Structure 1
Amino acid sequence: METIKKILTSVYGNTFQQQDMAELIDLILSARKAITRSRKLHWDEEDIVLITYADQFSEDNKPTLETFTGFYNRWLKNTFSLVHLLPFYPYSSDDGFSVIDYHQVNPVAGDWQHVAELNRSTRLMFDYVCNHISAQSAWFQGYLAQQAEYEGHFIEMDPDTDLHQVTRPRTSPLLTPFMLANGETRYIWTTFSADQIDLNFANPAVLKRMVDVLLTYLARGGDYIRLDAVGYMWKEPGTSCIHLEKTHLLVKLFRAIADFVAPGTVLITETNVPHRDNISYFGQGNEAQMVYQFPLPPLVLHALHRGDAGTLSRWAASLETPAAGCTFFNFLSSHDGIGLNPLRGLLPEEEILSLAQAMENQGARVSYKNNPDGSASPYEINVTYLDALNKQDDDDALRVRRFMLAHAILLAFPGVPAIYIQSLLGSRNDDEGVVRSGHNRAINRQKYPLHEIEPQISGGNALRTDIFVALRHLIALRKTLPAFHPDSVMQVMTLDSAVLAFRRTDKNNHTLLCLFNVSDQPVTLTLPENNYLDAISVQEITGNHPFTLQPYAYYWLHS
């Protein structure tokens, strides 16, 4: 508790009154008393996350969470250890990330009892949308109505303020005009859209409300908490307003609260930024326990697109082992697109542009951001990962090989792997969804009636079935291999420009040699002298002899 008080003083100084402190401490102590369920204290090779929407599957007149839980128990209960339920709260836009009420479940999905029912089958990861709230929320509507309890909850700015240094993740205006009840106009800080109103964390009342939200999620079963858009939380005009010192202090505060109230809770920061900034959210082992491995999706895509693992290998070799108690949250695809900002500093800008253009030519949608000099740069490729890896005229057998190679890399990489539901289902681009919604990201967010999708993954659609079966099989195998413990050491090897190669070794000296041919050509290697057994194919391989990797082949070799 002293750590919590110390951080509060560092952030707020004398503006955090004794009464504020007492009320906050009471909230925290009450939550600690109420939370009796023990959490898993240490991750291991069996931890694999499924990312999904709560309304991913639908049945007539059933809450979608009830439908999802049934699907999960039939097909996936023995595959994944944790489900990331993307925002399942009432919302007004951005597919859930413009939250109207943090404390409620969207009625379409069900209620907290439906969340609890899923929690009986798996651990859960919740989104803590901490930077902003919906313009339709009671908080913001109360502010517009000039109700005293919401005064200072949002950031008012003179529209003539020089804000050119502010980092912009979107091309929409930073300040949005709103009319108060008395007819006056206020310009309000809106980082992401006019419907997503940034919260004013400089106000202790806002912090208290948001800590209450965090405690609610811990009490309702959130073992992993994803801090959405956390890098933008604290604003100071005249700065970039991203990754500021007080943002890091707030993350430390959330960590200290979670550790005190529900030991074993894992905080994950969502900061789609260059690698050095991203890993800064580990702090000194006292901020987030996990950060998203954002360079991995575009680097794997770049490697298969070029048939060259050089950049991917060099980047992998440069990764430093995180502090004890920290690891990476690895993924290839998510509800968002494939971010390109993490490539900056790893690839020349012309190669990033070339990759974006190639994807666009294959049917992807590319999103752009404004730069301070007035130019625009691609920041996100919107596409299913299956379609990103393949050309439109490729046959399905080749699609599956490339796709499974990419996921064999994901599952072998140091950290905890997460797989997006659309990848597991072998989904193609939903172009109709983009047209219908007007949003690029809809291309990878298709929802399905249950009676349509279950037959497709069980033989009715060969591509979907092949991927669904193969990916679950590979995950099941991965969970049996101690060398894939998130904390196991990775040693990258240079064998051929087309081959990503590394060893994973755990604390008990279990070792796997992992080989991935990212090209469409056979590659012949001579492995270090040893006898090997491939965990995937159970093929025996003799070292010190020529060994050929077929195009897009992958091996996890016991030595």
Structure 2
Amino acid sequence: MAELNNKESTLSLLKNKLVQQLNFIYKEVDSEIDFDTLSDQLIQLMRLDEVCHAPVAHENHWSEKDIIMITYGDSVIQADKKPLVVLQNFIDEYLGDSVNSVHILPFFPYSSDDGFSVIDYSSVNESLGGWDEIQAIAKDRRLMSDLVINHCSSRSAWFDNFVKGEGIGHDFFYTASPEDDLSQVVRPRTSDLLRETETARGTKHVWCTFSHDQVDFDFRNPEVLKSFVSIIRLYLDMGVKIFRFDAVAFLWKKLNSTSINLPETHEVIRLLRSLLEHAEKDAVIITETNIPNTQNLTYFGNANEAHAIYNFSLPPLLINSLVTGSCLYLKRWLMSMPPSQNGTAYFNFIASHDGIGLRPAEGLLSDYELTTLVETMAEFGGKISWRTTESGEPKPYEINIALYDALQGTTKGKDKLGLQRFICAHAIMFGLEGIPGVYIHSLLGTKNDYEKVENTQQNRSINRHRWDYDLLKDSLEDETNHHSIVLASLKELLDIRIKQPAFHPNATQFTLHLGLQLFGFWRQSLDRKQSIFSVSNISGHEMELVIQDLNLIMTDSWFELISGEALNVDAEMMMLAPYQTVWLTNVLY
């Protein structure tokens, strides 16, 4: 009886919260919406009337053991086998316990953008496998899936119904008029915002933030919200624990506005979190908002919105430091970043299926630094994607390049220290406050795929190579091959990291001041027992680390985790080779 009363009390509190959230979202849209009924419908769609958990505020659903590998479902293929089965075989055989979570990029039927133009949210792309294969991966690893919430494919059944003017989806899409003032709209693309479409109700102009094959939803219609709640419930049933809200910053549109980061967008995220955390205690929302840093931080809300946010400023700033040999801008940024509250975390990455976003570096890197970075990456084979600014001018939006190639030299040109520079980048990222996400092609040291760019005519294809598993195994079994060296080196770092409480995503972090060629930070475990000083030589020459500069507690014994050697605290200094990282700790685990 007590358990029943607790459930009823939890549901009652949730319903009151949902009504308030729905009122905030829709009060200016339709005054006739019955928020009481709509909240009941959302609860039923999420099946919270059956099982409903009372969420615990500021609870961390992660630890130092969490590493997320980012991959497409067919990044590794083998003849006559389902790619999702091959992917699981690769993870089990080559990653083992080093990686406990996997982000499989959109694995649904799609028409373009390598999965981000979804035709059907409820099924798995047959060319990859099926829900059985997804569930098999979710059984052994924490599974992260995309919720492509801003738009869907123009070839979807929903959009077909929009064209026909009948059935589910006929009123799901946002339209505007070419006569409307759309000058303030912020977009990451140069294509026309509106797509002219002939429908049974006449000519409509459909809002397309990204491409004309990616038609934007109209969340002013509560039926769209209800459909996505059903999708979230399905993904939970299939084993998804981490939800990546793709392009969510653009979700709510409003004429005579920027149509990005609007208050209604934030409230929709908070509402979906309310439902999700009552359905699954340890489910996590990560918002993918490739926008300037200060705007990105707002998606934490007051620890009631995203559980984690993509740390989009890290890739351009870290890569800039390594190719210029100066950590000035990286250090300034790190010092300005607020520590994440318990219950929230940064999602750190330095490479992904997309490129190196430049908008998150705006205001952090000078125009000269940005231009130099773009030119350097172009010299290393990178492609540049552009956006249109508010004034109508083209501006670099993203650098498309494989990370291994991006770090094959400096602003002075290519050199022979690319491997060391590449490992250094990951050693820094693995040690920072937050949850590390590592791209499969970084684990494998994959290079630029120019053939795929030629075939697809898409810049982003340069870092979306598809490996033949038999050829990959041959490469990984050759200990002299750089693919094998990279994987072994990164796994060694990960295996060390996941044992260190001071590398908990929410462990204390302070930036060290060691000059511009030594980048360092201090981490302390939540129980304050373990300290780790991470110091990296980001230059191409040997550097002296003055041990006294670290203010080590001299009564403790100190060890260097990566080499496994004891540190002589009485020594005045230690020498760091070009791009060497040391992790100095007072506690061994």
After TM superposition, is the score higher than 0.5?
Answer: yes
| CA root-mean-square deviation | 1.8
CA distance in 2, matches of 1:432, 1:42: 41
Q: Is the 8 A contact 1:84 1:125 kept in 2?
A: yes
CA distance in 1, matches of 2:88, 2:52: 26
CA distance in 1, matches of 2:480, 2:105: 27
Superposition pairs of residues 134-533 of structure 1, within 5 angstroms: 134-181=153-200, 184-391=202-409, 394=414, 398-459=417-478, 462-509=481-528, 510-528=530-548, 530=554, 532-533=558-559
Q: Is the 8 A contact 1:31 1:219 kept in 2?
A: no
Which residue does the alignment assign to 1:77? 96
Deviations 1:203-227 (A, max 9, x none): 0111111111111112211111000
Cα distance, 1:41 vs. partner? 6.2
Cα distance, 1:394 vs. partner? 5.0
Unaligned runs of 5+ in 2: 1-13, 54-58
Which residue does the alignment assign to 2:9? none
CA distance in 2, matches of 1:302, 1:383: 14
CA distance in 1, matches of 2:24, 2:222: 13
Q: Is the 8 A contact 2:174 2:206 kept in 1?
A: yes
Q: Is the 8 A contact 2:60 2:343 kept in 1?
A: no
Cα distance, 1:16 vs. partner? 2.9
Identity %: 36
Residue identity in the other structure for 2:24 = S
SS at match of 1:29: coil
Cα distance, 1:376 vs. partner? 1.4
Q: Is the 8 A contact 2:48 2:279 kept in 1?
A: no
2:575 paired with 1:548? yes
Normalising by structure 1, report the TM-score: 0.96
Residue identity in the other structure for 2:188 = P
Q: Is the 8 A contact 1:34 1:219 kept in 2?
A: no
Q: Is the 8 A contact 2:172 2:218 kept in 1?
A: yes
CA distance in 1, matches of 2:386, 2:339: 33
CA, structure 1 residues 203+73, in 2 after alignment: closer, same or farther (shift >3 Å)?
same
Q: Is the 8 A contact 1:156 1:189 kept in 2?
A: yes
Which residue does the alignment assign to 1:534? 560
CA, structure 1 residues 461+253, in 2 after alignment: closer, same or farther (shift >3 Å)?
farther
Residue identity in the other structure for 1:4 = L
Q: Is the 8 A contact 1:305 1:389 kept in 2?
A: yes
Residue identity in the other structure for 1:232 = F
CA, structure 1 residues 532+10, in 2 after alignment: closer, same or farther (shift >3 Å)?
same
CA, structure 1 residues 507+22, in 2 after alignment: closer, same or farther (shift >3 Å)?
closer
Q: Is the 8 A contact 2:164 2:170 kept in 1?
A: no
Which residue does the alignment assign to 2:6? none
CA, structure 1 residues 519+200, in 2 after alignment: closer, same or farther (shift >3 Å)?
same
Which residue does the alignment assign to 1:50? 69
CA, structure 1 residues 213+432, in 2 after alignment: closer, same or farther (shift >3 Å)?
same
CA distance in 1, matches of 2:572, 2:169: 72
Q: Is the 8 A contact 1:15 1:204 kept in 2?
A: no
Query: Which of the residues 108, 128, 132 maps onto 2:147?
Result: 128
Residue identity in the other structure for 2:22 = L
Deviations 1:519-544 (A, max 9, x none): 01221131125453100002333346
SS at match of 2:226: helix
CA, structure 1 residues 31+411, in 2 after alignment: closer, same or farther (shift >3 Å)?
farther
CA distance in 2, matches of 1:476, 1:489: 21
Deviations 1:239-287 (A, max 9, x none): 1000000000000011101111111111000001111110100000100
Cα distance, 1:461 vs. partner? 6.3
Aligned residues: 553
Q: Is the 8 A contact 1:135 1:141 kept in 2?
A: yes
Superposition pairs of residues 97-108 of structure 1, within 5 angstroms: 97-108=116-127
Residue identity in the other structure for 2:532 = L
Residue identity in the other structure for 2:464 = R
Which residue does the alignment assign to 1:3? 17
CA, structure 1 residues 100+460, in 2 after alignment: closer, same or farther (shift >3 Å)?
farther
Residue identity in the other structure for 1:413 = L
CA, structure 1 residues 170+542, in 2 after alignment: closer, same or farther (shift >3 Å)?
same
Residue identity in the other structure for 2:440 = I
Cα distance, 1:387 vs. partner? 0.6
Cα distance, 1:151 vs. partner? 3.2
Q: Is the 8 A contact 1:131 1:233 kept in 2?
A: yes
Cα distance, 1:507 vs. partner? 2.0
CA distance in 2, matches of 1:515, 1:208: 49
Residue identity in the other structure for 1:365 = K
CA, structure 1 residues 130+451, in 2 after alignment: closer, same or farther (shift >3 Å)?
same
Query: Which of the residues 131, 148, 159 maps onto 1:112?
Result: 131
Name the stretch that deviates more: 220-229 or 371-380: 371-380
CA, structure 1 residues 247+309, in 2 after alignment: closer, same or farther (shift >3 Å)?
same
Residue identity in the other structure for 2:491 = R
Residue identity in the other structure for 1:494 = H
SS at match of 1:494: coil
CA distance in 2, matches of 1:261, 1:290: 18
SS at match of 2:342: coil
Cα distance, 1:19 vs. partner? 4.7
